[in-house]
Amino acid sequence: MTTPTFPSRLPNVGTTIFTVMSALAVQHKAVNLGQGFPDFDCDPKLVDGVTTAMQQGHNQYPPMTGIAPLREAIAAKIEALYARRYDAAAEITVTAGATQAILTAILCCVGPGDEVIVLEPCYDSYVPNIELAGATVVRVPLTPGTFRPDFDKIAAALSPKTRAIIINTPHNPSGTVWSPADMRRLDELLAPTNVLVISDEVYEHMVYAPLQHESVARYPGLAARSFIVSSFGKTYHVTGWKVGYVAAPAALTAEFRKVHQFNVFTVNTPMQHGLASYMQDPAPYLNLPAFYAAKRDLFRAGLARTKFRLLPCEGTYFQSVAIDQLAVPERELSEADFCQWLTREIGVAAIPLSAFYGDGFDQKVVRFCFAKKDDTLRAALERLARL
């Protein structure tokens, strides 16, 4: 029997760097600071809320758009934080995580002949999503070293074929946070165009004082053209639940839901009820910046005693470091080779930033995740102290 063959829809996609590094970490019993997920539990109250929902019989299909109490809680949160009211019925959709939300946003508005701008380095789902839509990826680099948007280059990349731009603040992998001036400049740049914005804001509650998160929801001109994507998994330490949401104007949401109903239809019911109940208290997400700032500061203090050169971390739970001050031959290794060496020889796994660039641009920078127990971070720092 011969298995039929067919052209790959994603011929350039292989095993992700996260899978490779996690497997290497297991093989060498390394502390895994590569993949971005917590190694600690969520609030037991959140689990209790889901358990109660299951016991109360909330185990069948929910509405395609998400249960009303959760959509209403999301709308209330956005209004309280960013002073924009989204209609819970017509402008909020619960999704199976942020990755599904981004794919659905792209598929609903992008097609063959369109161009979509991505700002590199970028999260690894953006480019395959655009390619699945049959569109052309237009890569615009963030400024090397600072990872700030270069609006001259963005302006130069805009064309009559540009359908959308994907932005991400706070930014994975660099931890950079866009400023009010950045948002205003983007607003001005797009104002005369028909370009949509897909705003990946999954780390919105991890922005460190004195900065604040600049959601596109704060800016009427941007909000009118934007799909805002966020993640309960990131906010509440439950990445395995795969629940997120999209907020967008009613006309955009109507198109989004046309795709959503056929690529996932809806999201598991008891998790939605548990999240809706838990969101009645804003303290967990309001206190999150201080929670992660303490971990960031602990980790940065330890790294400062090594020969890594610390880059700023304004948001997210990622810390990037330059390896250009390490001893030879380590500093002469490529980022990817250095991360493999670090995992094998030092016992700590990291991710090369080159993995977030289409051309593998190597600037001698690697990324650690500090969404870990303090004991995990201390164990990693003890090993990294050898550098």
Separation in Å, CA 253 to CA 81, 232, 244, 247? 21, 19, 15, 8
Specify whether 203 is located in the same domain as 74: yes
User: In the chain, which stretches have pLDDT less than 50?
Assistant: none
Specify whether 34 is located in the same domain as 55: no
Q: How many Cα atoms sit within 13 Å of 130 on the Cβ side?
A: 22
Which CATH number goes with the domain that contains 165? 3.40.640.10
Among candidate residues 268, 256, 266, the one with its CA nearest the CA of residue 103? 256
Centre a 10 Å sphere on the Cβ of residue 307 and count the other Cβ atoms it contains.
16
C-alpha triplet 185, 354, 239: angle, nearest 5°: 80
Tally of domains within the chain = 2
Specify whether 240 is located in the same domain as 226: yes
| 315 occurs within a structural domain | yes
Specify whether 96 is located in the same domain as 142: yes
263, 281, 299 — which closes off a domain? 281
Domain residue limits at 377? 17-42+286-384
pLDDT at position 317 is: 98
| 334 occurs within a structural domain | yes
Verdict on whether the full-model pTM lies above 0.75: yes
Specify whether 208 is located in the same domain as 347: no
Which CATH number goes with the domain that contains 315? 3.90.1150.10
pLDDT at position 17 is: 84
| 10 occurs within a structural domain | no
pLDDT at position 18 is: 85
Specify whether 178 is located in the same domain as 244: yes
| 368 occurs within a structural domain | yes
Among candidate residues 324, 319, 346, the one with its CA nearest the CA of residue 335? 324
Specify whether 262 is located in the same domain as 329: no
Quote the percentage of the chain above a pLDDT of 70: 100
247, 281, 315 — which closes off a domain? 281
| 4 occurs within a structural domain | no
Specify whether 60 is located in the same domain as 152: yes
Residues 201-224: b if buried by 16+ CB within 10 A, e if exposed: bbbbbbbbeeebbbbbbbbeebbe
